[in-house]
Chain A
Amino acid sequence: MPSVTVQYDAAAASRLLDEVSERSGQNLKACYQCRKCAAGCPVGEESGVTPDRLIRTILVGDREAAVNNLLVWKCVACYTCGTRCPNNIQTARITETLKQMSKKAHAKPLRPRIADFHASFMTATKHFGRFNELEGMAIYETKTALKDLAKGDVKAVIHEMAGQMKLGFQMMKKKRMHFKLDRVKANGEVKAMYKKAKARSEK
Chain B
Amino acid sequence: MKQLAYYPGCSLHSSSELYDVQCKMVFRQLGIELKEIDDWNCCGATAAAKTDDFLAVALPARNLGLADATGLGEIMIPCSSCYSRTLVAQKTITSDPGLKEAINAELGHKVKGDIKVSTILEVLLPKVRSGEVASKIVKKLEGLKPACYYGCLLTRFPVDVEATDDVENPQGMESVCTALGAKPIDWGYKTDCCGASASVNDADQSLLLMSRIVGDAAARGANCIVTSCPLCQFNVDAYQDKVGEQYGIAKRLPVYFITELVGVAMGLSATEMQVDRHLVDAMGLLKELNLL
Residues of A within 8 A of B (CB): 23, 42-43, 46, 74, 76-80, 82-83, 88, 90, 92-93, 96, 99-100, 103, 111, 113-114, 116-119, 121-122, 125, 129-133, 137, 140, 163, 167, 170-171, 174-178, 182, 184-187, 189-190, 192-194, 196-197, 200-201
12 further A-B pairs in the complex, CB-CB below 8 A; given A83-B155, A119-B51, A176-B277: A83-B156, A90-B158, A96-B50, A100-B53, A111-B202, A118-B197, A122-B44, A130-B41, A184-B39, A184-B40, A190-B41, A201-B54
- Judged by a CB distance under 8 angstroms, whether B209 is at the interface is yes
Residues of B within 8 A of A (CB): 10, 13-17, 39-42, 44-55, 58-59, 62, 102-103, 106-108, 152-153, 155-160, 167, 191-193, 195-198, 200-203, 205, 208-209, 238, 274, 276-279
CB-CB < 8 A to B41: which residues of A? Answer: 125, 129-130, 184, 187, 189-190
CA distance A96 to B88 in the complex (A): 15
CA distance A92 to B50 in the complex (A): 9
CA distance A23 to B54 in the complex (A): 11
CB-CB < 8 A to A137: which residues of B? Answer: 200
Which residue in A79, A90, A113 is a CB contact (below 8 Å) of B201? A113
- Does A76 lie within 8 Å of B55, measured CB to CB? no
- Does A42 lie within 8 Å of B209, measured CB to CB? yes
CB-CB < 8 A to B54: which residues of A? Answer: 193, 196-197, 200-201
CA distance A77 to B59 in the complex (A): 18
CB-CB < 8 A to A121: which residues of B? Answer: 45, 47, 197
Q: Which residue of A lies closest to B234 (CB)?
A: A176
Q: How far is the CB of A181 from chain B (nearest CB, A)?
A: 10
CA distance A78 to B13 in the complex (A): 24
- Does A100 lie within 8 Å of B49, measured CB to CB? no
Interface secondary structure of B, over-half rule: loop
CA distance A192 to B102 in the complex (A): 11
CA distance A189 to B110 in the complex (A): 12
Q: Which residue of B lies closest to A97 (CB)?
A: B53
Which residue in A82, A100, A189, A190 is a CB contact (below 8 Å) of B158? A82
CB-CB < 8 A to A77: which residues of B? Answer: 46, 49-50, 152, 158, 196
- Does B14 lie within 8 Å of A76, measured CB to CB? no
| Most B Cβ at <10 Å: residue of A77, A82, A132 | A77
Q: How far is the CB of B117 from chain A (nearest CB, A)?
A: 17
Pair count A-B, CB < 8 A: 170
Which residue in B44, B197, B208 is a CB contact (below 8 Å) of A125? B44
Q: How far is the CB of A166 from chain B (nearest CB, A)?
A: 9
- Does B47 lie within 8 Å of A174, measured CB to CB? no
- Does A178 lie within 8 Å of B51, measured CB to CB? no
CA distance A42 to B46 in the complex (A): 17
- Does A193 lie within 8 Å of B45, measured CB to CB? no
Q: How far is the CB of B188 from chain A (nearest CB, A)?
A: 13
Q: Which residue of B lies closest to A200 (CB)?
A: B54
- Does B47 lie within 8 Å of A117, measured CB to CB? yes
Q: Which residue of A lies closest to B195 (CB)?
A: A76
| Most A Cβ at <10 Å: residue of B51, B59, B160, B192 | B51
CB-CB < 8 A to B160: which residues of A? Answer: 88
Given A122-B47, A129-B41, A182-B13, verify A197-B55 contact (CB < 8 Å): yes
| Most A Cβ at <10 Å: residue of B16, B62, B201 | B201
Q: Which residue of A lies closest to B153 (CB)?
A: A79
Q: How far is the CB of A94 from chain B (nearest CB, A)?
A: 10
CB-CB < 8 A to B195: which residues of A? Answer: 76
CA distance A88 to B158 in the complex (A): 10
- Does A174 lie within 8 Å of B13, measured CB to CB? no
CB-CB < 8 A to B155: which residues of A? Answer: 83
CA distance A175 to B209 in the complex (A): 27
Given A80-B152, A201-B52, verify A176-B279 contact (CB < 8 Å): yes
CB-CB < 8 A to A43: which residues of B? Answer: 205
Which residue in A83, A118, A176, A186 is a CB contact (below 8 Å) of B50? A118
| Most B Cβ at <10 Å: residue of A23, A117, A184 | A117
- Does A174 lie within 8 Å of B279, measured CB to CB? yes
- Does B42 lie within 8 Å of A130, measured CB to CB? yes
CA distance A200 to B45 in the complex (A): 20
- Does B55 lie within 8 Å of A83, measured CB to CB? no
Given A76-B198, A132-B14, verify A174-B50 contact (CB < 8 Å): no
CA distance A66 to B49 in the complex (A): 19
CB-CB < 8 A to A182: which residues of B? Answer: 10, 13-14
